[in-house]
Amino acid sequence: MCGIAGFSNFDADYTCSQSNYVSILENMSDTLYHRGPDENGHYLSRHFGLAHARLSIIDLANGKQPMYRSVGGYTYAICYNGELYNTAELRNDLIAKGWKFKTTSDTEVILIGHIEYGTSFVEKLNGIFAYAFVNEKDQEISLYRDRNGIKPLFYTLFNNTLLFGSELKAIFAYPEYQPRVDKNGLNEIFSIGPARTSGCGIFKDIYEILPGHYLMHKDGFMKLHCYWKLISKPHTDSYEETIEKTRFLVTDSISRQMVSDVPICTFLSGGIDSSLVSAVCAYELKKQGKQLQTYSFDFVNNDKYFKSNPFQPSSDKPYATKMVEFLDSKHTYLECDNYTMADCLYESVDARDLPAMADVDSSMLHFCRQVKQFNKVTLTGECADEIFGGYPWFHKEECFNANTFPWSMDINARKSFLSDSFLAELRMEDYINKTYEASIAETPRLSEDSKTEARRREISYLNLRWFMQTLLDRMDRTSMYSGLEARVPFADHRIIEYVWNVPWSIKYKDNMVKHLLRESARGLLPDEILFRKKSPYPKTYDPAYEQLLQKRFIDIIENPSSPILTFIDKKKVYQFLNSPSDYAKPWYGQLMAGPQMIAYMIQVNYWLEKYHIDIL
């Protein structure tokens, strides 16, 4: 994994002031150092500039970027962030067409593939990626993003210059650029955050390449092209065939994503998703005479304060321990204390350039930092719930029938800190309804679906395009902040394409959540793990953590220079802080309740302060 950035302007000649523009590229690259601390590089020509910060995973010696190749007197260049999982097949195809390779890196495969096939080559890729490809022959630059938006890529047009970067901070490093936020951006933060409308960069006139799309910039014009989207079609496989094919797709994806020239590890919670990923990895490594390294996460004092609730029925540690014994893995138990988690709230904003999922982000950032001390690459169980229907809103009636985002049905908690005048200006309900209805309208439909099955597709699509994207953002930023590459085998597009059309009667057979995944994993895991009731990412229940947050937030609202005072009502804040917390009533997802609302507001204030944002 790496960081990429760059610029393009067809009215400019960068070679006339080469040292100046190289310096700009270096500054943009420096903002992404955490994503690629191993080395950096740049490419500059008349109309194009590329910058790269590299985390070396494949072909450690020869994979330097940007990478370029001259063919027929013209140069083609690429800067790439990602991993391909079908590199060997693609390389063999290109070799058969007469191409010769100088490295074993997947970067060179993509570079040559685009020279050979043009833009359509992206359709052949199985992987997680965001990259920029410069075609000097046709005088064009194209920006590509993987099918499910696992790797980020932002862009804007500033003074006729296309600016882009893996993270927003790379764009902000361009001279004279000033971050601005209008009412739509504020609605993204306060009304639907920490989620984000697909393609929206929050800051005015900044966008993100949509998943499954590429942006072409040529002759001063930009156009977004879709190269992949979900298609609804009848599912014709039998129950037994569905189980067999799902098992193959999942295990094949996990095995493919083990490709690395450095040792891999896995995150192991003791739930079915991470346990299945770990089991396949451990099996493959044992065939090579190697032992899998695993990590699990918890919080100091959770053995004392853990509270079972409908969203989090059991603690992870006993199940993680059982899996460690089953796998014979080399395991490390990591813990996060209250002060570390609170302190990392600020760094998680630094990582995302936006307010994040409060302590869900800050704790993961801390854990990833600890893992990076020993490993560069990890595989996770992320995305299985969105794909296989693991969340309560897939089957709980009140969530299923809600005419809004089912993970954020009650917005009263969002209003609890905000002033009446700001609420009147935001018109939160209107913004939420508009974004919700737009996503519902995009849902790929099948004419023969029953009304209930049609709604299943809507819920599934919302999860893939909204909730899963939020968690993928979290995983990318919190891991890459310390230069740790986190892979997500369940988000393989082949799995998503297939499971999308499997009827709910199979996914939820015998009223069992994630029945399809559980049955496809029979024999790979102990039954105690295989049929464990879902328990999400852990959180702390220590009351001292909430008290710490309250103290920090009071310090903020009593400081007259705090930028968040523009939006909040101090009287409402104190009323909220003096009310008892209800951990069983999250305002976002399953984990973000009262303490996380305080933490989120702390992040919002820090974000406004750090980025010196102009509010329009």
On whether the CB atoms of residues 559 and 382 are closer than 8 A, the answer is no
Torsion of CA 387, 390, 396, 401, to 10 degrees: -10
Q: Which tokens hold the place of 199?
A: 């393609």
Q: Which tokens hold the place of 232?
A: 């609804």
Q: Which of 56, 58, 50, 54 is nearest to 77 (CA)?
A: 50
Give 262's DSSP letter. S
Partners of 42 in the beta sheet? 51
Q: Which helix (H) or strand (E) holds 442?
A: helix 428-442
Q: What is the CA radius of gyration of the chain?
A: 24
Encode pLDDT of 208-236 as tens digits: 999 999 999 999 899 999 999 999 999 99
Which residue among the candidates 2, 281, 344, 383 is catalytic per the annotation? 2
pLDDT at 497: 98
SS3 39: strand
Encode pLDDT of 446-499 as tens digits: 999 999 999 999 999 999 999 999 999 999 999 999 999 999 999 999 999 999
pLDDT at 253: 98
State the average pLDDT for the chain. 94
- CA–CA separation, 591 vs 182, rounded Å? 29
Q: 107-111, 294-298, 584-588: lowest mean pLDDT where? A: 584-588
- CA–CA separation, 369 vs 366, rounded Å? 5
pLDDT at 309: 59
pLDDT at 310: 58
Question: pLDDT band at residue 583, thresholds of 50, 70 and 90?
Answer: low
Question: pLDDT band at residue 584, thresholds of 50, 70 and 90?
Answer: low
- CA–CA separation, 498 vs 248, rounded Å? 12
Phi, psi values for residue 161, rounded to 5°: -110, 125
Question: pLDDT band at residue 308, thresholds of 50, 70 and 90?
Answer: low
For residue 317, pLDDT over 90 is answered with no
Phi, psi values for residue 175, rounded to 5°: -55, 135
Q: Which amino acid appears at position 99 of this protein?
A: W
Q: Which of 20, 71, 69 is nearest to 49 (CA)?
A: 20
The answer to whether 281 is a known catalytic residue is no
Q: What is the 3-state secondary structure (H, E, C) of 467-485?
A: HHHHHHHHHHHHHHCCCCE
Residue with tokens 């004092």: 301
Q: Which of 230, 223, 227 is nearest to 120 (CA)?
A: 227
Q: Which of 63, 141, 54 is nearest to 107 (CA)?
A: 63
Q: Which tokens hold the place of 385?
A: 């719930």
pLDDT at 581: 72
On whether the CB atoms of residues 255 and 85 are closer than 8 A, the answer is no
pLDDT at 1: 62
- The verdict on pTM exceeding 0.85 is yes
Q: Which residues contact 312 (CB under 8 A, 6 or more apart)?
A: 535, 536, 538, 539, 590, 591
pLDDT at 55: 80
SS3 577: helix
Sign of the C-alpha dihedral, residues 95, 99, 102, 104? negative
Sign of the C-alpha dihedral, residues 90, 96, 102, 108? negative
**Mean pLDDT within 429-456:** 95
CA angle in degrees (0–180, nearest 5) for 476-480-486? 60
On whether the CB atoms of residues 164 and 6 are closer than 8 A, the answer is yes
Sign of the C-alpha dihedral, residues 496, 133, 14, 138? negative
CA angle in degrees (0–180, nearest 5) for 551-554-560? 145
pLDDT at 537: 76
pLDDT at 59: 66
Distances (CA, A) of 425 to 112, 135, 183, 352, 603: 52, 46, 8, 26, 22
Higher-confidence position of 559 and 542: 559
For residue 3, pLDDT over 60 is answered with yes
Q: Which residues contact 513 (CB under 8 A, 6 or more apart)?
A: 389, 390, 394, 395, 533, 534
Q: Which of 371, 372, 391, 364 is nearest to 476 (CA)?
A: 364
Distances (CA, A) of 497 to 144, 148, 274: 20, 11, 21
On whether the CB atoms of residues 54 and 63 are closer than 8 A, the answer is yes
**Mean pLDDT within 293-304:** 88
For residue 311, pLDDT over 60 is answered with no
Higher-confidence position of 571 and 616: 571
Encode pLDDT of 54-70 as tens digits: 887 776 777 789 999 99
On whether the CB atoms of residues 297 and 267 are closer than 8 A, the answer is yes
Question: pLDDT band at residue 591, thresholds of 50, 70 and 90?
Answer: confident
- Count CB-CB contacts under 10 A for residue 512: 12
pLDDT at 432: 98
Phi, psi values for residue 83, rounded to 5°: -140, 135
- CA–CA separation, 425 vs 183, rounded Å? 8
Question: pLDDT band at residue 95, thresholds of 50, 70 and 90?
Answer: very high
Q: Which tokens hold the place of 63?
A: 């994979």
Encode pLDDT of 326-349 as tens digits: 999 999 999 999 999 999 999 999
Q: Which of 153, 84, 151, 146 is nearest to 112 (CA)?
A: 84
Q: Which of 248, 280, 250, 252 is nearest to 266 (CA)?
A: 280
SS3 238: coil
Q: Which residues contact 81 (CB under 8 A, 6 or more apart)?
A: 1, 2, 3, 4, 35, 129, 130, 131, 151, 153, 166
On whether the CB atoms of residues 90 and 155 are closer than 8 A, the answer is no
Q: Which amino acid appears at position 385 of this protein?
A: D
